[in-house]
A and B are shown apart, each in its own frame.
Chain A
Amino acid sequence: MRNWIIGSALAALALASPVAAQEKVKLINVSELSGAGATAGTNWKNGIDLAVAEINAKGGIMGRQIEIVHYDTQTNPANTRAAVQRAIDEGTYAVLGPVFSGPIGASMQIAQRAEIAQFVGGEAANLTQQGNPYIFRTSLSQTAAMPKLAKALATDVKAKSVAVVWVNNDFGKGGRDAINAELAKVGIKVVADVSTEQGQADFAADAIKIKNANPDAVFAYLNEEESARFLRAARQQGIDKPIWGETTLLGAKVIELAGDAANGVKGHVGLSVDAPMNPLRDFGRKFRERFNYPSDHNGIKGYNAVYMIKWATEKQKKFDKKGVADTLRGATIKVSEEPGILMDTTILKNGDIDRESFLAEVKAGKQEIVAVLPPVGP
């Protein structure tokens, strides 16, 4: 009897030992699951969940299953800081998220101090201009996207004047500064520079202001829900000039929320499930099957982030947190090596990425890719 008790205790100890715990690799996602960024954060989270399920089904990363944990930041910078710190304290292998640029800016130093790679969905230009070697984008930055947009407005629309409507947060301010600089370079005048607030519900006054400025085109740089509200207000107030934007404005959620008001909107899209590329389309199909709605670019970003971690770990052939960042900086991940990356992607030394992108238009409630644009770099 006594031997049986000792044997059981030893067996229990063995099960609870670090050797058993090492069978999993823990990833913690810190994103906007409620608040103003809920749409972006939920898509990002679902993209992560899809990637984790796929990787685990195929045996995990180097034989280890991924354990994924999600924390809601409520789109609040203070909560984001606390959640990133908690993720690190709980031993995350890398930090996933957040998506909004403001909360990223407020929390990225924490992961940097811990020397842990952080994969974010933000596009604000300044995020990768602060010398943080542990921050990695999953989408093009504003500095890569805006020159393409300004060129399209000058050549395709032949616009001489543009009204810029932007959201007054880090993402919006960065985008507004970047597009205004690029518009000046191609000789387009900004006739209305309309600042709006994150979470703003009523855009009627802004739409009237823009309409009365009588621009040749409108450039909208807002978050998802605000983009949809603005498009509805623009149509209600009779704005009939071309409305252009960057990835978010043409996202699936914006199209769904804006309804008919989204038709005719054009812009630059960094990632799209409608792109003429089989890996992206396959991802879009799998996402829809699992979550019963179409993914926007944030879903692809979350999915990409997990596969970037997988690729880096397999490349360095060990589970070294700091090594993930070291391996990724300056690397090019090809779809032929890692299909989960979906598009050949070069990660620059500062954490920016470079790859092909698209010009798109919303037609009959669907985003259609009208041109594939080459990467900025060689």
Chain B
Amino acid sequence: MSEFLAYLIVGIATGSIYALAAIGFTLVWQTSQTINFAQGEFVMLPAILVLLAVKLLGVPIPVAVLIGAAAFVLIFGVGFKRAIVDPMLPHGVLPLAIATMSLAIIMKEGAKDGFSAEAQSFPSPFAADTVSILGTAVSVQFIMIIVVAFASIAALQWFVTRTRTGRQMQAAAQNPNVARILGIPVERMVMLTFIINAALAALASFLISPIYLAKFSNGETIGLFAFIAAIVGGFNQVRGALLGGILVGIFDSLAAAYVSTSYRLAVPLALLVLIILLKPEGLIGRKEERHV
């Protein structure tokens, strides 16, 4: 039982990071009806920007984290929206999806050539100790990851549902034409969504990189798991992305423990197939219809 609890906590911790990335998928989907295939790279890059700031500017890590996060939000929040989404969206969602695929490759290869092909150490802000929970030694780092990720998602949920700006964001996402008639600054709300996406990706990056190490190829794994999480939970629901992330994290951890590390990726994929067959809108997603 204590062993199972340890696997469960590890699964929830990594799952909550997947959830942060998966929320990015849902935010972009809600505002532009497309999939950001560079979402994994969005999580990979902020940690590398931080290490670059340390290397080039010689600043301490906390300052570098602020610089890296600010630079990332500016370039891949505001810049992504202005330089890629705005020009591509009028041509349909498919060109935009392809553009994000290209962006993923550019980010990955750019990080490899501009920084390093090798993994780099990324410091953890949390202690490497363990604490006892129900007789099970549990890593403080994993507990803190869960706390930080859940707090961030709760804050986002509060912002979206309980504030005027958040409700305007929702309205802009659900029906931009009606929102415009009601006087909601739709463009500004969409921009805010992309900024939030970039900020969540940066947070996920800072939480996962001490475990994965900072490396240009990290986006492949994270992007895949986050994508599965978003589909499992429901692509059009922030709560769905959270649920999907946690489920995928737990399934992954239990698969590594009780099945085999060789087949661990197959288990979340099997979950994905099951969801697509039985509940294609996701566990708590809304059904959407399109007329073509």
Contact = CB atoms under 8 A, between A and B. Distances in A.
A211 B218 CA distance: 27
Interface in B187-221: 210-213, 215, 217-218, 221
B262 A205 contact: no
Contacts of B120: 257
A201 interface: yes
A261 interface: yes
Interface string A198-218: 011110111011011000000
B161 interface: no
A232 interface: yes
B137 interface: yes
10 pairs of A and B residues whose beta carbons are closest in the complex: A205-B256, A238-B130, A236-B139, A34-B117, A204-B10, A38-B117, A201-B212, A225-B119, A238-B137, A205-B257
A120 B210 CA distance: 32
B210 A42 contact: no
Contacts of B221: 201
Given A212-B3, A238-B137, 19 more contacts: A34-B117, A35-B117, A38-B117, A168-B261, A195-B262, A202-B212, A204-B13, A204-B211, A208-B6, A225-B213, A225-B215, A232-B211, A235-B128, A236-B141, A237-B139, A238-B139, A257-B213, A259-B123, A261-B128
Interface of B: 3, 6-7, 10, 13-14, 112, 117-121, 123, 128, 130, 137, 139, 141-142, 210-213, 215, 217-218, 221, 252-253, 256-257, 260-262
Contacts of B212: 201-202, 229
Contacts of A253: 118
B142 A33 contact: no
Given A168-B261, A196-B261, A204-B14, A257 B121 contact: yes
A23 interface: no
8 contacts: A42-B117, A168-B261, A197-B261, A201-B213, A205-B256, A205-B261, A237-B139, A257-B120
B122 to A, nearest CB: 9
A196 B261 CA distance: 6
Contacts of A256: 121
B253 A204 contact: yes
Nearest to A195: B261
Contacts of A182: none
A228 interface: yes
Contacts of B119: 38-39, 225, 228, 257
A205 B7 contact: yes
A306 interface: no
A326 to B, nearest CB: 36
Contact of A202 (B14, B117, B130, B215): B14
Given A38-B117, A237-B137, A208 B7 contact: yes
Interface residues of A, number: 38
A65 B261 CA distance: 48
Nearest to A72: B117
A256 B256 CA distance: 27
A344 interface: no
Contacts of A237: 6, 130, 137, 139
Given A34-B112, A229-B211, A206 B261 contact: yes
Contacts of B139: 204, 236-238
A233 B256 CA distance: 14
Contacts of B14: 202, 204
A42 B120 CA distance: 14
Given A232-B211, A237-B137, A204 B142 contact: yes
Contacts of B118: 38-39, 42, 225, 253
A168 to B, nearest CB: 6
Nearest to A33: B117
A356 interface: no
Given A208-B6, A238-B137, A259-B121, A195 B128 contact: no
Given A205-B7, A228-B119, A257-B213, A236 B261 contact: no
A236 B144 CA distance: 12
Contacts of B112: 34
Contacts of A258: 121
B124 to A, nearest CB: 9
A76 to B, nearest CB: 13
Contacts of A197: 261-262
B208 to A, nearest CB: 8
B211 A205 contact: no
A33 B116 CA distance: 10
Contacts of A261: 128
A307 to B, nearest CB: 25
Nearest to A196: B261
Q: From B6, B117, B252, name the one whose CB has the most chain A CB atoms within 10 angstroms.
A: B117
Nearest to A74: B117
Interface in A226-270: 228-229, 232-233, 235-238, 253, 256-261
